[in-house]
Amino acid sequence: MTLADLLADVHIPEPGVTSSGSSGVRRLRTADGIALFVEIADEAVRFEGYDARLAVARDVTAQRSAIDSVEASERRFRDLFEHSVGLICTHDLNGVLLSINPAAALALGYRVADLVGCRMTDLVPTALHSHLGDYLKRIGHSGEDSGRLQLAHRDGSPRIWEYHNRVLWDDQDTPFVVGHAQDITQSRSDERRLREQQAELEAVTDGSPVGLFRATLDGKFSYINRSYERITGQRADEAMESGWAAALHPKDRMRVMQEWASATQLREKFLSTHRFLHDGSRTVWVSMRAQPLIVAGEIVGYVGSVADVTARHRAEQQLQRSETHLRTIADAMPAMIGYLNATLRFKFVNAAYERAYGRSRADIVGRTAREVLGEAVYAKRLPYIECALRGERVTFEEEEQRGDDFRCMEITYIPQRDDDDQQIVGLHVMVQDITRKARQERDWMRAAEIDNLTGVANRAGFLARLDRALVRSKDQQSMLSVMYLDIDHFKQINDTYGHGVGDALLKAFAQRLASVLRPSDVVGRLGGDEFTVFTEGVRRPEYASAIAAKIVMAMRRPFFLAEEKLTLSLTTSVGLALSGDESAMTTAALLERADGALYAAKAAGRDGYRVAARKGSAQAVERSRPIMK
């Protein structure tokens, strides 16, 4: 077998392997297929007179495998060094950088070429050079060191590296330091910011007047602030876990704990007003609230607050006592007292409302004024209500006549303004029954308007009623008749029989005059023997003339004066005036017309009537129809 027969069919050059001629490292394959690395050396020689080549082969498979492993390890280390995001460097014991990976150089704002051979003092702030010297001494002495090192970025900003370095030796037995570090500048900044925020939060919570607490999912306290301690009288270590319940007032403890347990089990909010026993003696009323704390969509516990509401509770109790006191007073008053809000809905009524409307207080409160009063009464009072809602105090009287039943109510609306005196938020209502007073006033007014002798209206009463009748006549566009009459030759009767008989005759005359008129007609005595009559709603002038004629005829019958035992005959003269579509007509003008017609009747011989001509008539006085005697 020749040397060529031993060579493998495939030759694979390897790094560092020479292959000139037949010398060098060749890969051979054994008969069973195993590849071997063989180092072959040959040279030309003369052997037994022939030119020959002497070949020496040596198996270097193991050596080649070891070399390949070292080279692969070096490649992996180089890749790790070059591409690692971690910060890696080497330096000698004097602080000169021997190597640095790109990540570390970039973290300081440099290129690798800028830093290799650079002294570490150039990367450390001047004020910290002594610390760098201490580090070099420590690691040179112990061979290993860990800690934090402050460096300077190329732009001057500080960088903090957390490192772990170790001393190694190269193949010349020269020591050098291999360092692994992590830039924690941002994390340190974040930690500081977090500590500042925590400090601010603690300052805020401790400075808050409201007690704050945090509880676990099972309802046990894990934190309270100083205000909680101040309000409840418990120290933080006493309130932790379930210890906070010990400060609850004995009369509230069971209820509060049951409600708290129910809220935490159901993962619901908790709200309670109860008492704490501060220092075991002083009672403190608090409003306690707790809300589930949700993080990333999950309930992780509870956060809550405790506010001291003792002053408010006492004020509410005092207010309740005052309201009870005022309600008692209001219920004892005969006047109806109520309060409506700005939407005219009853918020309070006293007992008088119940008696007046025959409904319970609960049935009135909450209803609107329209519902309680009814449409008709509400419409009548609405203008006064609107006036009060504009801020004016309103008082008015409301009369009601149902058959012989007369009632008069005095109603007062007092606006209630808000605390800033800007808006009307409601109305106070007071309704007093002044029927008795109104009746007295009507009686007094009637007495002031009635002639004491005859019982008919006196001058003032007649004129006041005539004024109102004339207004109604104009509004309704109806006819109004006014008669002016007196007793013919009354002075002779007085002179003959005396004033006593004269007064008796005047009374009898007034009674007969009223008897021939309608109940709605108004009779008045202006003085002496002068009487007036007005009639509303006269359809035709002839009807008024018929009434005048009827009066004249009625007075011709003899008058029997029982007390005087005297029978007298007399006549009367009547002047009639009519007001129809004369919009400018006044009471005085109408009476003046009637008076003129009366003088015309007397001038015509008395015992008759005359009708005053209306506006536009050619004659001043119309002649009366003949009266049969």
Distance of alpha carbon 33 from alpha carbon 62, whole angstroms: 17
pLDDT at 73: 62
In a domain, 515, yes or no: yes
Boundary of a domain, candidates 26, 42, 67: 67
In a domain, 201, yes or no: no
Is the separation of the CB atoms in 597 and 610 below 8 Å?
yes
Is the separation of the CB atoms in 93 and 136 below 8 Å?
yes
> Do residues 155 and 262 share a domain?
no
Tell which wins on pLDDT, 611 or 69: 611
> Do residues 304 and 164 share a domain?
no
Residue 627, amino acid:
I
pLDDT at 45: 80
> Do residues 483 and 595 share a domain?
yes
In a domain, 393, yes or no: yes
Tell which wins on pLDDT, 44 or 378: 378
Residue 279 domain boundaries? 211-308
> Do residues 596 and 453 share a domain?
yes
Distance of alpha carbon 377 from alpha carbon 366, whole angstroms: 19
pLDDT > 70: what percent of the chain? Answer: 87
Say how many domains are in the chain: 5
Tell which wins on pLDDT, 72 or 26: 26
pLDDT at 284 over 50: yes
3 state SS of 4: helix
Tell which wins on pLDDT, 67 or 502: 502
Is the separation of the CB atoms in 175 and 168 below 8 Å?
yes
Boundary of a domain, candidates 388, 411, 438: 438
Q: What number is the average pLDDT over the span 517-543?
A: 92
Q: What number is the average pLDDT over the span 93-104?
A: 89
Residue the block writes with tokens 């005959």: 569
pLDDT at 119: 92
> Do residues 484 and 574 share a domain?
yes
In a domain, 202, yes or no: no
In a domain, 196, yes or no: no
Tell which wins on pLDDT, 340 or 67: 340
> Do residues 178 and 225 share a domain?
no
pLDDT at 319: 78
Boundary of a domain, candidates 67, 94, 114: 67
Give me the long-range contacts of 499-508 (CB less than 8 A, separation at least 24): 500/564, 501/561, 501/564, 501/566, 501/568, 503/453, 504/561, 504/563, 504/564, 505/559, 505/561, 505/568, 505/570, 506/453, 506/454, 507/453, 507/454, 507/455, 508/559, 508/561
Q: What number is the average pLDDT over the span 610-625?
A: 59
pLDDT at 620: 43
> Do residues 349 and 284 share a domain?
no
Q: What is the DSSP string of 22-54?
A: T-EEEEEE-TTS-EEEEEEEEEEEEETTEEEEE
Q: Domain holding 365: CATH number?
A: 3.30.450.20
> Do residues 466 and 597 share a domain?
yes
Tell which wins on pLDDT, 81 or 436: 436
> Do residues 533 and 465 share a domain?
yes
In a domain, 629, yes or no: no
In DSSP terms, which residues pair with 174 in a beta bridge?
none
Distance of alpha carbon 622 from alpha carbon 497, whole angstroms: 36
Tell which wins on pLDDT, 564 or 47: 564
pLDDT band for position 544 (50/70/90)?
A: very high
In angstroms, how far is CA 225 from the centroid of its own chain? 31
How do residues 120-178 score in pLDDT, each as one tens digit?
A: 889 888 888 898 899 999 999 999 999 988 888 999 889 998 999 999 998 888 999 99
pLDDT at 6 over 60: no
pLDDT at 128: 86
- Neighbour count for residue 267 (Cβ, 10 Å): 11
pTM: 0.39
pLDDT band for position 69 (50/70/90)?
A: low
> Do residues 262 and 360 share a domain?
no
In a domain, 265, yes or no: yes
pLDDT at 5 over 80: no
> Do residues 33 and 53 share a domain?
yes
Is the separation of the CB atoms in 211 and 237 below 8 Å?
no
Is the separation of the CB atoms in 254 and 265 below 8 Å?
no
pLDDT at 63: 72
Is the separation of the CB atoms in 515 and 553 below 8 Å?
no
Distance of alpha carbon 213 from alpha carbon 302, whole angstroms: 8
Residue the block writes with tokens 């001629």: 21
In a domain, 326, yes or no: no
In DSSP terms, which residues pair with 159 in a beta bridge?
151
Is the separation of the CB atoms in 93 and 78 below 8 Å?
no
> Do residues 613 and 569 share a domain?
yes
Distance of alpha carbon 470 from alpha carbon 472, whole angstroms: 5
Q: Domain holding 563: CATH number?
A: 3.30.70.270
How do residues 29-50 score in pLDDT, each as one tens digit?
A: 777 878 788 878 878 888 777 8
